[in-house]
Amino acid sequence: MERRDPREMLRGLLGPAAPEVGCDTCFDELDRFVELELAGENADAAIPGLRAHLAGCPACREEHESLLALAAEA
């Protein structure tokens, strides 16, 4: 079995230190969050806890990356 990076595994096990929203709130707010980011505005202040959630939830993080890339093209 390949050796895993202990820090990476611990980050996944312990999760983000900051308060976070859940997956449903993340989905509801993701489009606004992305457009604030693209506009160079303070998305983290407007939607607290979403950035922390993205750090803790790989699935939502992937969808955020995709929406950011797609909306930037549009």
Q: Is 55 in the site for another protein (CB under 8 A)?
A: yes
Which residues from 8-27 bind another protein, rule CB under 8 A? 9-17, 19-25, 27
41: contact with another protein by CB under 8 A = no
CA distances from 39 to 5, 10, 54, 68 (A): 36, 34, 19, 11
Other Cβ atoms within 10 Å of 39 Cβ, number: 9
Residue 55 token pair: 């750090």
Task: Give the residues lining the site for another protein (CB under 8 A).
Answer: 1-7, 9-17, 19-25, 27-28, 30-32, 34-35, 46-49, 55-59, 62-63, 66-67, 69-71, 74
